[in-house]
Chain A
Amino acid sequence: ILNVEQSPQSLHVQEGDSTNFTCSFPSSNFYALHWYRWETAKSPEALFVMTLNGDEKKKGRISATLNTKEGYSYLYIKGSQPEDSATYLCDNTDKLIFGTGTRLQVFP
Chain B
Amino acid sequence: KAGVTQTPRYLIKTRGQQVTLSCSPISGHRSVSWYQQTPGQGLQFLFEYFSETQRNKGNFPGRFSGRQFSNSRSEMNVSTLELGDSALYLCASSLVKGDQETQYFGPGTRLLVL
> Footprint of B on A, CB under 8 Å?
31-32, 34, 42-46, 49, 51, 89, 91, 93-101
Contact = CB atoms under 8 A, between A and B. Distances in A.
Contact of B100 (A45, A93, A95): A93
B99 A44 contact: no
A46 B58 CA distance: 22
A46 B4 CA distance: 14
A105 to B, nearest CB: 17
A45 B3 CA distance: 12
Given A43-B90, A44-B105, A45-B105, A94 B99 contact: yes
23 contacts: A31-B99, A31-B100, A43-B3, A43-B4, A43-B105, A43-B106, A43-B107, A43-B108, A44-B43, A44-B92, A46-B104, A49-B100, A89-B42, A93-B101, A94-B99, A96-B33, A96-B56, A96-B58, A98-B42, A98-B43, A99-B42, A100-B41, A101-B42
